[in-house]
Structure 1
Amino acid sequence: MVLKMYLEWISTWNLSLVVSVLEGIYGIDSLVLSVNFSRGCQRNGLFIMLVFFVWGHFLRFSCYYIGGYEQGNGTFIQVALFCMLIPLKWVVFMIYFHDCKERYLEKKTDEELGKDVRVPQK
Structure 2
Amino acid sequence: MPAGLAFAFLFIVGLLLLMRTALRRPLGALLSPLGRVALTNYVAASFLIVAGDALLDIGSRSSYGSVVRLGLPIGVVQTIFSVLWLRFLRYGPLEWLWRCLTWWQRLPIRRA
User: Highest Rg: 1 or 2?
Assistant: 1
Name the structure with the higher helix share: 1
Q: TM-score, normalised by structure 1?
A: 0.37
Q: TM-score, normalised by structure 2?
A: 0.39
